[in-house]
Amino acid sequence: MIPTRINTVVVGAGQAGLAMSAHLRDRQIDHVVLEWGSIAERWRNARWDSLVMNGPAWHDRFPARSFDSDPNGFPGKDEVTRYFEEFAKQIEAPIYCGVEITGTTALPQGGYQVETSQGHIHADHVVAATGPFQIPVIPPILPDGVVNQLHSFDYHNPAQLPDGAVMVVGAGSSGAQIADELLRSGRKVFLSIGPHDRPPRSYRGKDFVWWLGALGKWQMKTPPAGREHVTIAVSGAYGGDTVDFRKFADRGMVLLGMTEAYDSGVISIADDLAKNIAGGDANYLGLLAEADAYIDAHGLDLPPEEDAKIIGADPDCVKTPIRHINLAEQGVTTIIWATGYVQDFSWLKVDAFDANGKPAHNRGVAKVDGIYFLGLPWLSMRGSSFIWGVWEDAKYLAAQISNQP
């Protein structure tokens, strides 16, 4: 049975909840981890079949456990799920699965009442470790019934889709990888591209994640001004390669600007494709230049890679951008929206949010005593939503909890 009185309740048994449990255990703080689904539920059931991690196994892991596979490889979703299951056993995490949280309220005598599908718990501290991937967002552009529409959250593989062309909206890591997979499967693919960063998969013998560390970018506290909502296109799929939308077009993919509106079977496309592609190129070349400067400044013996700086010619769909897509004429039967998520803290009925409903916190410590957030993007740094980054944030929060009565 779940204890009815506990020091700390951790909500969520994904990477954030497991990291939190490990550090609470190290400090001998009594706690439980509550999960509505299974351990690593999102990795298990809310990812497409061929998904691999965007970073190599040597980097995207907890310090206390390595992956069993090639350190330079990119583990698939099933391997990642097993990794978290085995880590939970390793630390003997007190996880209760199949428990839904229905509410959390402050108690007059102090602490919080956590209401669950299996009873109430009185806790001194509550850690919201539910992560950033909670409610899929589909922009209200197309009405239902026009074509088959789904979010990337519900995409699993090309075979699940009806015959016909596919339009993918959103060209971050998810959209780019899904569009590539569909193209490889023989589908006609349209990819709607917005502003994005397009880093190199590797450069001069070092992976992109290594460069982020060397250049101090993992430790950035906030996104660069004006780049808060810019997505990133990076992939470990097919062994890992730099995402290059021009190469997608060379293989037959049709690139589009941002999706704007729909009327009578026709989707209107913004005239911003060339600008968005150029912005991605500038980000890519800028990182190469920073890497070169770092190598020179530190006297590193890394092989030159001048070919990496060559940007290919623009394909016709960039030179002469398409402004309208007649879905029927183009044979588009499915639209996949790779358009992100919003967070859901409806179960947390405390004054821990700002005027816009966003968590109000400092490094995960909420503005009200005893409430903590973990696993959110930019919680304390750029790396906060990654496996290794959430470990560092959890360590900090465990220290804060241990110092409170």
Domain limits of the chain? 5-134+343-402, 138-337
- Answer yes or no: is pLDDT of 194 > 90: yes
What percent of the chain lies above the pLDDT cut of 70? 99
Question: What predicted TM-score, i.e. pTM, was given to this entire model?
Answer: 0.96
- Answer yes or no: is pLDDT of 405 > 70: no
pLDDT tens for residues 69-126? 999 999 999 999 999 999 999 999 999 999 999 999 999 999 999 999 999 999 999 9
What integer is the mean pLDDT of 304-325? Answer: 97
pLDDT tens for residues 217-246? 999 999 888 776 789 999 999 999 999 999
pLDDT at 153: 96
pLDDT tens for residues 132-147? 889 999 999 999 999 9
**Please, what is the average pLDDT of the chain?**
96
What integer is the mean pLDDT of 316-320? Answer: 97
**Fold: same for 5-134+343-402 and 138-337:** yes
Give the domain 138-337 fold: FAD/NAD(P)-binding domain (3.50.50)
pLDDT at 272: 98
Compare 87 and 46 and report the one with higher pLDDT: 87
Cα–Cα distance, 108 to 229 (Å, whole number)? 40
pLDDT at 403: 87
pLDDT at 229: 73
Give the domain 5-134+343-402 fold: FAD/NAD(P)-binding domain (3.50.50)
